[in-house]
């Protein structure tokens, strides 16, 4: 174990033998650090915060502090749970859950860049990339392989589907269905074709997802009607997942620029 002499590490913290802790870092009583974890200088890990193997916590990053929620009570027991192989770059912040027994959860292989923020009860899947100064409000859910551009912001309870690509500076208060690209404010710009090809989706699967996209967005039907009509056809698992996401949205799904233009005309 390699701990800088200026670091403050609770004797109650649980740490693997090869953990590295940098200068002036703070490790609280209930923190667990798995094998291969590196915590750089001035990082703070507090509360019931558990990291699996091979996680990197950059300079000044803060994990496990109380949520920014006026209703939060200090007596509440909540957590941050982090899987394996994640990177939290400089000044990233991850707040723990706001209600008793809840958690903010990060999967495996995620990369959070400088100043990224996860509010309370956020749920990240695997291999999510979050660029600089991107902000996720409470209870936001981001599925596997999504890429969120720098400075993008997400309202509480928004869901971001698998392999979504969101441009920098965008704002979302509506859900973004899987496989799409997000642009500006609550606008989707079509399929994330490059991301789907990189993920190994065949041309046949991509075309079926595009057919489902056209049914939801360009058929002239509302979402409920389009989902009902989708039951007349057979769909592969990827397109079926897209349709199921749209059907289950509570906040409503982000729309295309074509929909917005029609409303304004």
Q: Residue 221 domain-assigned?
A: yes
DSSP 8-state code for residue 33: E
Segments of the chain scoring below 50 in pLDDT: 261-262, 264-265
| Residue-level length of the chain | 265
Q: Are residues 221 and 116 in the same domain?
A: no
- Please tell me the total count of domains within the chain: 2
Q: Residue 163 domain-assigned?
A: no
Q: Are residues 152 and 207 in the same domain?
A: no
- State residue 184's pLDDT score: 85
Q: Which domain holds residue 42?
A: 2-157
- State residue 257's pLDDT score: 79
- State residue 249's pLDDT score: 95
Q: Are residues 52 and 131 in the same domain?
A: yes
Q: Which helix (H) or strand (E) holds 207?
A: helix 203-218
Q: Which two tokens stand for residue 260?
A: 């917005």
Q: Are residues 151 and 201 in the same domain?
A: no
- How many angstroms separate the CA atoms of 102 and 96, rounded? 8
CB burial string 204-236: b at 16+ within 10 A, e below:
ebbebbbebbebbbeeeeebeebbeebeeeebe
- How many angstroms separate the CA atoms of 22 and 116, rounded? 21
- State residue 1's pLDDT score: 86
- State residue 258's pLDDT score: 65
Among 128, 157, 186, residue at a domain's last position? 157
């Amino acid at each position: 174990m390699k701990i800088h002499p200026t670091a403050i590490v609770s004797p109650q913290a649980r740490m693997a033998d090869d953990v590295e802790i940098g200068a002036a870092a703070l490790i609280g009583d209930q923190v667990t650090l798995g094998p291969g974890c590196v915590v750089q200088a001035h990082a703070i890990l507090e509360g019931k915060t558990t990291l699996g193997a091979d996680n990197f916590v950059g300079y000044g990053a803060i994990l496990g502090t109380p949520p920014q929620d006026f209703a939060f009570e200090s007596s509440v027991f909540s957590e941050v749970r982090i899987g394996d192989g994640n990177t939290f770059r400089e000044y990233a912040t991850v707040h723990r859950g706001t209600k008793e027994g809840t958690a903010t959860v990060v999967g495996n292989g995620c990369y959070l860049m400088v100043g990224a923020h996860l509010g309370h009860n956020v749920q990240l899947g695997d291999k999510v990339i979050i660029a600089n100064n991107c902000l996720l409000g409470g209870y936001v859910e981001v599925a596997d392989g999504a890429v969120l551009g720098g400075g993008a912001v997400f309202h509480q309870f928004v869901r971001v589907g698998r392999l979504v690509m969101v441009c920098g500076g965008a704002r979302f208060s509506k859900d973004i269905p899987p496989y799409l690209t997000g642009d500006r404010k609550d606008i989707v710009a079509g399929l994330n074709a490059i991301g789907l090809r990189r993920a190994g989706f065949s041309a046949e699967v991509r075309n079926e997802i595009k057919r489902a996209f056209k049914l939801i967005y360009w058929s002239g039907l509302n979402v409920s009607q389009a989902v009902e009509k989708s039951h007349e056809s057979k769909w592969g698992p990827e397109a079926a997942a897209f349709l199921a996401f749209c059907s289950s949205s509570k906040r409503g799904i982000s729309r295309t620029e074509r929909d917005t233009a029609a409303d304004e005309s």
